[in-house]
C-alpha cells in the first residue's frame, strides 16, 4: 500500500495526467545536457519524476511512467542523429526524424527498469528509501546500457553535473565512483530536492541547494604543466568533402598547411594530431594497386608516408585517422576489399609506420549495417558513404612511442564508453580522440566534448581531441579544457600535453566501482525502508 503523501507542487498526479507529466519531465531532464546546460531544471525534473513514480499503485504503472520519461528524455538528447540521414542519398532525410524516437523507444527500457525495481522493492511511497533504491537501480541500468546489444550509453545522466570548461563541477568526485554512479547521485540529488520541497523543509532545502551550486562552480586547482609538445589540427573539412575524390588532395593540403612547427630549428619531441576522416591516403602496403590509384598520392603508399613525415618534420610524430583495408576473396572469386578498419596510424618523420590502432566500438548504421542480410534487401544501408562494413578492433591498446609518450587512441564514438578507453595493464600517458562529427546535427559536438572531459576525470589522464570541424581541445586530467577550437573553424592548437595524475580508484577498478556504489545505495534504501516501517 502507498502511504498518504503530500501533493507534488505544480503537478496533477491524477491517473489521467501522470503519463503526460512523465513525458514532460523526461523532456525537461534532457535540457541538462549540452548545448543547453540547464542542470538545475534537469535535477528538479528527475526528482519530480522519481516522486511521481513512487506514488504509483503498482510496479507496472511505475515501469510505464519510467518508459514514457525515457522516450522523451532520449528523443531530445539524441535529436542530433537525424542530421546523419541528410548525407545518405539512398534513404530520404525524413527517416532521420523517425529514427530518433524509434531509438528512444528502445533506450527508454532502461529508465523503465529502474522505476520497476524501485517500486517493486519499496512499496511505501515517496521518501528516502525509494530515492536510494531508484538511484542504485539507475546505476545498474546505465551500466547495462553500455554493453547490451554492443552498447549505446550516450549522455549518462551524471553528465548534467559536469561543470563549465574551467572547472569539473560535481563531476570532480567521478574518480571515486565512475560516471554511472555519478548518474545515480544526480538522480538522488534531484529526488532529495523535491522531497525537501514537498515536506517544506526550507532551511535544509536552501542549504542543500547552496552546496550543490558551490560544488558546480568550485574552482579547479592550479594546472600542472607537461613537457611534450602537441599540435592539434582542425581543418574544417565538411562531410560533403570527406568522401569526394576531387577534395582528397585539397583536404591533405589544408591539413599539411596547419602542421609545421611554429619555430624553425626546433626539434624537441612533438606529436601532431590529425582527425578521423580527414585524410584519404592508404598508408599500408599490400593492397591491389587499383585502391592506391583511386586515393593515394601518386598511387604509392611509400610516397604517401614519406610525404606525411616530411610535412610534420624532424622531431615530430604524426598520429592521424586513417582507413585500413582487409583484403580477401569475395563470393565471385575476385580479390578485393572485404572489410575496412577505422584506424589511427603513427608516422615517423622518415615515413616509417610506428604502430596503429583499430577502432573497437563501431557506430551501428554508420560504420556497419547490422543484420545486413536482412536489412539490405529492404533498401536500408549505412548512413555514410561506402558499401563495405568496418570491422572492429580488439579493444583499448597503448601505443608506446618512446619519447613521444604512451598513447591510448579512442576513435570518435568510442570515447563515450566509461571504463573502456584504456588498457588497464599498460596505462598510457594520454588519450588521443580523433573524431569526425560533421555528419551529426547540433548538440553532438558539445556533448562529445563533455563526455571526453568525463573520461579525463575518471582515468586521471589528459584527453587530446582532433576533429574535422570542431570541437578540438586539450583537456587536462581534472576535466578542465585548457585550449579549444570552436565548431567550423580551421586552425591549430599548440600546447604542452598536461601530465597524468596517479591512477584513480576508477582507473584501478573500472566499472566494478560504480556497481559497488549501486549495491551500497540499494542496501541503504532497504535499511531506510525497514526503519520507516517500524
Rounded CA Rg of the chain? 25
What secondary structure letter does DSSP report for 162? B
For residue 509, give every residue at least 6 positions away whose Cβ sits within 8 Å of its Cβ, in sequence order, or none. 516
Give 496's strand partners.
229
Question: pLDDT class for 218, splitting at 50, 70, 90?
Answer: very high
The model's pLDDT over 281-312, given as tens digits with 9 standing for 90+, comes to: 999 999 999 999 988 888 899 999 999 999 99
State residue 5's pLDDT score.
Answer: 61
Question: pLDDT class for 2, splitting at 50, 70, 90?
Answer: very low
The model's pLDDT over 479-494, given as tens digits with 9 standing for 90+, comes to: 999 999 999 999 999 9
The model's pLDDT over 148-172, given as tens digits with 9 standing for 90+, comes to: 988 899 999 999 999 999 999 999 9
Pick the closest to residue 449 from 410, 404, 479 (CA basis): 479
State residue 9's pLDDT score.
Answer: 61
Distance CA 518, CA 521 (A): 5
State residue 13's pLDDT score.
Answer: 63
Does 513 score more than 80 pLDDT? yes
Which H or E run includes 485? strand 481-485
Does 128 score more than 70 pLDDT? yes
State residue 368's pLDDT score.
Answer: 62
State residue 1's pLDDT score.
Answer: 41
Distance CA 478, CA 480 (A): 6
Does 377 score more than 60 pLDDT? no
Distance CA 361, CA 87 (A): 22
Does 369 score more than 80 pLDDT? no
Average of per-residue pLDDT across 380-388: 58
In terms of pLDDT, which residue wins out, 204 or 266?
204
Distance CA 427, CA 407 (A): 9
Question: pLDDT class for 3, splitting at 50, 70, 90?
Answer: very low
State residue 278's pLDDT score.
Answer: 81
pTM to 2 decimal places: 0.92
Amino acid at each position: 500500500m502507498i502511504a498518504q503523501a503530500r501533493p507534488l507542487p505544480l503537478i496533477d498526479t491524477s491517473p489521467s495526467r501522470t503519463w503526460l507529466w512523465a513525458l514532460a519531465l523526461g523532456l525537461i531532464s534532457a535540457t541538462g545536457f549540452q548545448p543547453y546546460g540547464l542542470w538545475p531544471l534537469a535535477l528538479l525534473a528527475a526528482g519530480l519524476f522519481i516522486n511521481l513514480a513512487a506514488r504509483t499503485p503498482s510496479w507496472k504503472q511505475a515501469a510505464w511512467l519510467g518508459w514514457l520519461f525515457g522516450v522523451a528524455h532520449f528523443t531530445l538528447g539524441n535529436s542530433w542523429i537525424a542530421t546523419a540521414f541528410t548525407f545518405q542519398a539512398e534513404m530520404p532525410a525524413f527517416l532521420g526524424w523517425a529514427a530518433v524516437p524509434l531509438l528512444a523507444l528502445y533506450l527508454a527500457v532502461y529508465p523503465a527498469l529502474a522505476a520497476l525495481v524501485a517500486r517493486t522493492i519499496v512499496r511505501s511511497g515517496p521518501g528516502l528509501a525509494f530515492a536510494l533504491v531508484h538511484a542504485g537501480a539507475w546505476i545498474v541500468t546505465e551500466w547495462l546500457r553500455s554493453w547490451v546489444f554492443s552498447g549505446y550509453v550516450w549522455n549518462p545522466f551524471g553528465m548534467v553535473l559536469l561543470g563549465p570548461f574551467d572547472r569539473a563541477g560535481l563531476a570532480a568526485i567521478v574518480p571515486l565512483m565512475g560516471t554511472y554512479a555519478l548518474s545515480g547521485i544526480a538522480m538522488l540529488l534531484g529526488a532529495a530536492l523535491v522531497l525537501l520541497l514537498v515536506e517544506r523543509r526550507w532551511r535544509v532545502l536552501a542549504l542543500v541547494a547552496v552546496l550543490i551550486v558551490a560544488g558546480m562552480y568550485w574552482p579547479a586547482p592550479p594546472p600542472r604543466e607537461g613537457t611534450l609538445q602537441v599540435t592539434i589540427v582542425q581543418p574544417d573539412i565538411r562531410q560533403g568533402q570527406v568522401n569526394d575524390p576531387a577534395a582528397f588532395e585539397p583536404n591533405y593540403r589544408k591539413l599539411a598547411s596547419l602542421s609545421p612547427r611554429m619555430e624553425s630549428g626546433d626539434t624537441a619531441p612533438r606529436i601532431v594530431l590529425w582527425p578521423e576522416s580527414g585524410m584519404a591516403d592508404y598508408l599500408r602496403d599490400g593492397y591491389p594497386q587499383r585502391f592506391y590509384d583511386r586515393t593515394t598520392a601518386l598511387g604509392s603508399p611509400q610516397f604517401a608516408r614519406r610525404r606525411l613525415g616530411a610535412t610534420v618534420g624532424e622531431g615530430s610524430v604524426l598520429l592521424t585517422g586513417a582507413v585500413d583495408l582487409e583484403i580477401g576473396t569475395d563470393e565471385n572469386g575476385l580479390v578485393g576489399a572485404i572489410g575496412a578498419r577505422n584506424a589511427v596510424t603513427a608516422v615517423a618523420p622518415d615515413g616509417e609506420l610506428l604502430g596503429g590502432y583499430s577502432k573497437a566500438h563501431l557506430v551501428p548504421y554508420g560504420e556497419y549495417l547490422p543484420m545486413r542480410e536482412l536489412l539490405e534487401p529492404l533498401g536500408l544501408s549505412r548512413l555514410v558513404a561506402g558499401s563495405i562494413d568496418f570491422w572492429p578492433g580488439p579493444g583499448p591498446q597503448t601505443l608506446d612511442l618512446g619519447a613521444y609518450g604512451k598513447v591510448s587512441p579512442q576513435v570518435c564514438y568510442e570515447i563515450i564508453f566509461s571504463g573502456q578507453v584504456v588498457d588497464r595493464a599498460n596505462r598510457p600517458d594520454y588519450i588521443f580522440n580523433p573524431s569526425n562529427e560533421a555528419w551529426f546535427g547540433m548538440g553532438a559536438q558539445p556533448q562529445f566534448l563533455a563526455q571526453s572531459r568525463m573520461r579525463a576525470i575518471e582515468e586521471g589522464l589528459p584527453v587530446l581531441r582532433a576533429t574535422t570541424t570542431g570541437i578540438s581541445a586539450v583537456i587536462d586530467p581534472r576535466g578542465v579544457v585548457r585550449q579549444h577550437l570552436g565548431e567550423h573553424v580551421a586552425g591549430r592548437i599548440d600546447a604542452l600535453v598536461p601530465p597524468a595524475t596517479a591512477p584513480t580508484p576508477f582507473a584501478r577498478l573500472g566499472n566494478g566501482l560504480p556497481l559497488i556504489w549501486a549495491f551500497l545505495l540499494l542496501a541503504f534504501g532497504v535499511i531506510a525502508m525497514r526503519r520507516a516501517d517500524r
